[in-house]
Amino acid sequence: MKSLKKTILVVEDESPLSEAIRDKLKIKGYDSIIAKTESDAEEALKNNKIDLIWLDHYLPGKKNGIYFAKQVKENSIWRKIPIIVVTNTASPDKQEAYCQLGVKKYYTKSNFSLLEIINNISNLLK
C-alpha cells in the first residue's frame, strides 16, 4: 500500500546536512527523498509523487538551484510543486531570481533552524 505521508524532495549535496534534514522530516511524519545533484532530483521527480521541494542554491556541477527551479516551473507536471530554497547565500539578486520563479520561501541557513523550516513546511502543505 502506498504511503499517505507527504514526500519532500531534498536537493542538498552535503551528506551530513541532508541526513539531518531527512531525520527531522521523518520525526515530523514526512517521507523524504535525498538528491545530491540536479539530475538525481530530476529522476526523483520523474519517478515519485513529490509534495514539496527543499532546494539548496549550490549544487555540484555547473547548474545551480535557480536553473533547477526554472526547469521545475517550466514542466507542466511539476510546476505546481511548491519549492523552498534553503541556502547559505542571501544576496538580494538571488532572492529576487527565485521569487520571480514562484519559489514559496527563501531561507538563509544561518538565520533559521531546521525545526523552524520544517514547521513552516507543515504550514505550506496544509
Give the tens place of pLDDT for each residue, 41-52: 999 999 999 999
Nearest residue to 3 (alpha-carbon basis) of 41, 62, 50: 50
> Distance (Å, rounded) from C-alpha 126 to C-alpha 121?
9
Give the tens place of pLDDT for each residue, 73-94: 999 999 999 999 999 877 889 9
If one counts every other C-beta atom within 10 angstroms of the C-beta of residue 9, the result is 22
Q: Which domains does the chain have, with CATH numbers?
A: 7-124 (3.40.50.2300)
